[in-house]
Each structure stands twice: as structure tokens, then as C-alpha cells.
Amino acid sequence: MAPAVALVLAVLGLALLVGPAGLEMGGVVTALADRLPFLEVESSLTERELTILWEIRLPRAVMGALVGATLASAGAAYQGVFRNPLADPYLLGVAAGAGLGATVAILLRAGGFPSMPLAPLAFVGAVVGVALSYGLSRTRGRERRSATTLVLAGVAVASFLTAVQTFLQLTNVTTLREVYSWILGRLVTVGWADLYAVLPYMVVSWVVLLVFRRALDVMAVGDDEAATLGLSPRAVRLVVVGAATLGAAAAVSASGLIAFVGIIVPHTVRLLAGWSYRVIIPLSLLVGGAFLTAADLVARTVVSPAELPIGVVTAFLGGPFFLMVLRTSGDLE
Amino acid sequence: MTGLRLSDVTVVLGETRVVDGVSLRVDRGEWLGLIGPNGAGKTTLLRAITGGATIETGEVSYGAGDLSQLGARRRARLMAVVPQHPVVPWGMAVADYVLLGRTAHMGWLGRETSHDLDVARRAVVEMGLEKLSTRRLDELSGGELQRAVLARALTQAAPLLILDEPTSSLDVGHGQQMMEMVDRLRGEQGLTVISALHDLTLAAQFCDRLVMMAGGKAILEGPPGAVITERSLRDHYGASVRVLTGPDFGVVVIPLRSDNGPGEQPASLNVGTL
């Protein structure tokens, strides 16, 4: 746990230091120290540099960490309750549903409801996405169902929801630009207000998943046996899927569609720290935060001064990783 | 003392009455064996008791309480189940698996108390799994896995133990050890045991009473010698057998070959050397 915390702090520090306006390390450290209670330190940064630090780099780095933590823990939770190593917010249609919901919210904003928040509608869309994917995968007979069935259903649902979303987008050209950049996944325009808007949903999601992490271990023996051990598998699935979906929807409404974080991070954690969700959930939160902040760092430096959408970076890493999990998933079922 | 009682229990799966009006009782401390041909409804009857199958009509009760009113948690404190084909979770260590049995005794945060750990440790010792406790479950042999499942059931500290074909995947030696372990636990902890059993000889040796099921109904009930007969096995299993009984081995069932195989003259077997 301690190395993971150190990793998060190191990545966050790096994200604050790297960028087109070179901030020197001593100045950043003293500026941060100055904000601590009971400490008065004079930072060497100029007023403009302080603004870059506080209003651009820090919220963006923190948002990266929050979104990464939420997507990674949601992925781990889906894998646990569905007993499916390939489950991920993106592959289950959760992200596409949230995207559709958020698009509808953006359209409503343009059409006379300027204060329409994204997260609640994104959550509704995300719930529809995961419910459709799971429901469709269950229509196949038990003996013909495998780990890939759920993912195939998820891909179909995601394609459908994305088609609806694209249709809405194209028939409302005025909002096209805004939605387009958002769909690719971005942390660009993040300010503190964006962050505060989604943080409560994410915190609720984390707390529920942390409370249910032992229940996820019990679910590993299957619904029948979990029930004889004293757990109600349906209730656990409902609560955990609800919490993970709430978090994922909040993440998607903040940063667009970022794929594969929910696969890469939990499986890496599993390789390093074992099978138990008591470890996987908290570590996925930390490692996920570090991972996405780092991915964002890559996204905004490799083609500097331009930026890659962060979803491109995670998909570039996640595609090969997914294939690896698919190859070994026989062991995980 | 009345333990478990089933009255007129019917379970319907699809269109079929898989369990059809079964009534039976199991006294506390007793070991009841369920036998019957494949598809007779033994597993479904056990699932009706454990809450895994929906009861269409009838009632299952323990003591004075109706079990259908019981939530999963209270039920798990009353009965522990050893399934026929336990799910083996990837990567899990034996000690952690055994500890899963404490789920129904833990609070919402799922923190094990030192008492939970003690109970699990005792079950591990009881089942002779000390040396294997850090081993991964997916690396165990069939017999070792079955002991781990039984250890998990023990940590539930439930007065009822329900076993579905506990010996079906074990060889004759491990099957015998399994039955002896269950019998010892029954004596030490005063458990009431209900098990579906495939092996009629073992069923006759260990169970106080047998119920033979066929077509979803409880056809015969009584002491092993009265239930396992050449006639009942012919009528309900469609089997041609010779049944031998003796004071030192209980009941032995010998299948007869219908062609001119070596089973042609089983009467010449010397019972004393069996």
C-alpha cells in the first residue's frame, strides 16, 4: 500500500512540473508548502506561474487521478461481481451509455436548460448501458456462456448507444465541436469547478466498493455457494454495480470516454498483489490514479505543443493488454 | 428431538415436477442419506432445503421455525453446504477459503475478529490441512480440495451439515476417509447430516437412515438394509444386482452382468473374505 501511495504522489508531482511553461521545482515545492496549515513560505514563482500551477496544472492532475482511481476500481468491481476478467466500464457499454446521457445533457443545456448538470443523466445512460449488456448476455444458455459473451454483448450495446449519440450530435451541429473533443476523452478544460461537480459521486462509489470488497471475495465462489455462505448475491451485485456505475458515469461526464483503465490497472494489481479484492480495490484506486495522471502527462507531452486525447494513450496501451488478459482468462474464471 | 422437517415439498423446474410432494424428517444428530438413480431429484431436494431452489408448495422447517422466512445470513448460520462441484476461485489460498465460512458471522465491514480466525484455524487443523493452508486452492488434489470445502463448512458453525455427493469425485480410499471425517464431526459436534450419496455401500455403512428417491418422489424410507434391496434397485434403478448383508460390513451391492461375464455366479463368492 505504501509504495502505491508514493507512486501517486510522485506522478502527481511530475505532472505539476512538466509542461510548456517550465515551472522550476523549488518554486513549486515552496508554493505547495505555503498552502499547508501553519506554514508560511515565500515561493519564487511569479504571479502568472502560480496561476498556471493552481488553476491549470493542479486541477488537471488531480482530476486525472480521480478519474483513473474511479475507472480502475469500477473495472475491478465489475470483474468481481460478474466473475469476468474482461469486464470494464468501457467494454460493458457503461461509458457509451454515460456518453449518450451526457450528450443529451449538453443538448439540453444548449436548448434552454443552461444549468443542466452532466453527471445525473450520464448515470442514467450508464445504468441503461450495463443493464442492457448484462441482460443480453444472460439470454444465452448457461452452458454456452463464457467470459467473452458479456463483452460481446457490451460491444454491441456500446455500438448501438454510440450510434444514437452520433446521430444526436450530427443533427445538432452547433454543439458538435464540444461533444466531439469530449468523446475522445480529455482532461483539457478542467478547472476546480468541474472537479467539485463530480467528486461527490466518485467518493460515494469508492466508499461503497471499499465496504463491499470482502463480499467480492465471497462472490468468487459463485452465486449458489455465496448464498449458502450467508450472502445475497443479487443484492451484492445490485449495490456494487450501482456504485461502480455511478463512479464510472461521473468519470465519463468529467473526462469523456477513456477506455481500458478498468482492465489494465486491476490486472496489473492482481499480478503483483494476488487475488483478493480486499487488496485489489484499494490498490486499484491508488494505482489507477497514478496511471491516468501519467497517461495524461504522456498525452500532453509527446506531440507538444499539441495534445493527444488521453483516450488514445490508454487505448494504445490497453489494446495489447486486453489481448493478453483474453489469452490467459481461462485461468481467471 | 425434531430437527429438519419437510412436508409435501414440491419443486418445479420448467414444466417438470423435479421434486414431487416429498415429506421427511431428520432428527437432531442423525445422518440421513438420500439415494436414488440419476435424475431422481436428490440434488434439487437438497437445494430446496438450502434455499437454492424455489419451493412451489410445501414447507421446510427446522425445530419450530419455517425456513422459507429465513434470510441468507441466518440460513448460513443454521446450515453449512458442501456442494458436489465446488467452484475453485483462482489464486485463493486454502486458509482464506476456509475463512469464507465465517461470512455469516461477520459485520457489514467484513472484518474478521480473532474469534473468526480461531474458528478457521481449528477447522484447518481438524481437517489436517495445516501444511496446505498457504497453498493455492487450484493446486490441490481432489481429496485435499474436498477437505478444504468441508473445513469451510465447519467454520460456519452450523448445526446442520448438507453434503451433495461428497465422494463422487474421490477414489475409494479418499471417499472412505471423507465419510469417516463427517461421521467423526457428527459425533464430536453433534451435527445433523443430510447427504445425497451415489455409493450405496458407503451410504449403508454410514447413514442411520436412507430415503430412496425416484422420479422426484420419496419411494422408500428406512434403515439401510430395508431400503437397499435387490427388488428396490431393480424397480427404481433398473439394475440387476445381488445385495449381500453382513454384520461386519453392512450392505454390499454387486452388479450382475447380463452376458456370460464373471459376474454370472455371484452366489459362489465367499462372503467371509469380502
Q: Which residue numbers in chain A have pLDDT < 50?
A: 331-333
Contact A115/A183 with Cβ under 8 angstroms? Answer: no
Taking CA atoms, what residue in A is nearest to B52? A224
Both B79 and B90 in a single domain? yes
Q: Does A228 touch chain B (CB under 8 A)?
A: yes
Could you report the per-residue pLDDT of B198-228, keeping only the tens digit for each? 899 999 999 999 999 999 999 999 999 999 9
Both B273 and B141 in a single domain? no
Q: What is the pLDDT, as a whole number, of residue A175?
A: 64
Both B142 and B259 in a single domain? no
Both B228 and B248 in a single domain? no
Confidence class of residue B274 from pLDDT cuts 50, 70 and 90?
very low
Both B181 and B247 in a single domain? no
Confidence class of residue B79 from pLDDT cuts 50, 70 and 90?
very high
Q: What is the pLDDT, as a whole number, of residue A181?
A: 66
Both B41 and B126 in a single domain? yes
Could you report the per-residue pLDDT of B110-143, keeping only the tens digit for each? 788 899 999 999 999 988 899 999 999 989 998 8
Q: What is the pLDDT, as a whole number, of residue A16?
A: 83
Could you report the per-residue pLDDT of B15-35, keeping only the tens digit for each? 889 999 999 999 999 999 999
Q: Does A145 touch chain B (CB under 8 A)?
A: no
Chain A nearest CA to B194, separation (Å): 15
Is it the case that residue B268 has pLDDT exceeding 50? Answer: no
Could you report the per-residue pLDDT of A35-56, keeping only the tens digit for each? 777 777 777 778 788 888 888 8
Picking from B89, B108, B156, the nearest residue to A211 by CB comes out as B108
Taking CA atoms, what residue in A is nearest to B50? A228
C-alpha dihedral over B131, B136, B138, B144, to 10 degrees? 20
Both B136 and B203 in a single domain? yes
Q: Does A281 touch chain B (CB under 8 A)?
A: no
Asked if A225 lies within 8 A of B81 by C-beta distance, the reply is yes
Picking from A214, A278, A332, the nearest residue to B90 by CB comes out as A332
Both B40 and B70 in a single domain? yes
Both B39 and B148 in a single domain? yes
Q: What is the pLDDT, as a whole number, of residue B7?
A: 93
Q: Does A229 touch chain B (CB under 8 A)?
A: yes
Both B226 and B256 in a single domain? no
Domains observed in chain A: 65-332 (1.10.3470.10)
Is it the case that residue B71 has pLDDT exceeding 90? Answer: no
Picking from A227, A230, A232, the nearest residue to B52 by CB comes out as A227
Query: Chain centroid to CA A216: how far?
Result: 19
Interface test with A, best of B77, B82, B94, B96 (most A CBs within 10 A): B96
Domain that holds residue B266: 240-274
Chain A nearest CA to B67, separation (Å): 13
Q: What is the pLDDT, as a whole number, of residue A87?
A: 86
Amino acid at A31: A
Q: Which long-range contacts (CB under 8 A, 24 or more apart) does B115-121 make?
A: B116/B155, B119/B155, B119/B157, B120/B95, B120/B151, B120/B155
Q: What is the pLDDT, as a whole number, of residue B211?
A: 96
Write down the mean pLDDT value for chain B: 88
Considering its fold, how many domains does chain B have in total? Answer: 2
Query: Which residues of B fall within a CB distance of 8 Å from A211?
Result: 108-110
d(CA A296, CA A67): 11
Q: Is ipTM > 0.95 here?
A: no
CATH code where residue B181 lies: 3.40.50.300
Better-scored residue on pLDDT, A175 or B256: B256
Q: What is the pLDDT, as a whole number, of residue B97?
A: 95
Both B223 and B254 in a single domain? no
d(CA B39, CA B60): 22
Q: What is the pLDDT, as a whole number, of residue B27?
A: 93
Give the 3-state secondary structure of chain B.
Answer: CEEEEEEEEEEEECCEEEEEEEEEEEECCCEEEEECCCCCCHHHHHHHHHCCCCCCEEEEEECCEEHHHCCHHHHHHHEEEECCCCCCCCCCEHHHHHHHHHHHHCCCCCCCCHHHHHHHHHHHHHCCCHHHCCCEHHHCCHHHHHHHHHHHHHHCCCCEEEEECCCCCCCHHHHHHHHHHHHHHHHHHCCEEEEECCCHHHHHHHCCEEEEEECCEEEEEECHHHHCCHHHHHHHHCCCEEEEEECCCEEEEEECCCCCCHHHCHHHCCHHHC
Provide mean pLDDT across the span B246-260. Answer: 81
Q: What is the pLDDT, as a whole number, of residue A329?
A: 65
Both B260 and B219 in a single domain? no
